[in-house]
Amino acid sequence: MKVQLNGNEVELADGAAVAQAVASLGVGALTPGVAVAVAGEVVPRAQWTSRRLSDGETVEVVHAVQGG
């Protein structure tokens, strides 16, 4: 299946969870200061392995950058 990950289309195994998607960005369960939204809704870190993605879903993975 394909999902939109931070604006890029990526191919993931069917039934992949949020954890697999964020891993492709180098983000793991212990990476501090990261948050994930799927289809605009926050997915708490504790649910990264249980929240399965569907084909075409939008995943946003954000962290802190310099900003006023």
Partner 1 sequence: MPSRGDSDTATERWRLGDREWGSRLIVGTGGFRSLEQMERALAASGTEIVTVALRRVDPLAQGSVTELIDRLGLFVLPNTAGCYTARDAVRTAKLAREAFRTDWIKLEVIGDDRTLLPDAPELLLAAEELAADGFTVLPYTTDDPVVARRLEETGCAAVMPLGSPIGSGSGIRNPYNFRIIVEQAGVPVICDAGIGTASDATVAMELGCDGVLLASAVSRAADPVLMAGAMRRAVEAGYAARRAGRIPRRLHAQASSPEEGLAELDG
Residue ranges that bind partner 1, judged by CB under 8 A: 6-7, 22, 25-27, 32-37, 40-42, 44-45, 60-68
Complex with partner 1: residue 30 or 67, whichever CB lies closer: 67
CB of 44 to partner 1, least distance (A): 6
Burial class, 57, CB count within 10 angstroms (exposed 0-12 / middle 13-18 / buried 19+): middle
Tokens coding 19: 């954890």
Nearer to partner 1, 11 or 14 (CB): 11
Q: How far is the CB of 38 from partner 1 (least distance, A)?
A: 11
Q: Do 2 and 32 meet the contact criterion of CB atoms below 8 Å apart?
A: no
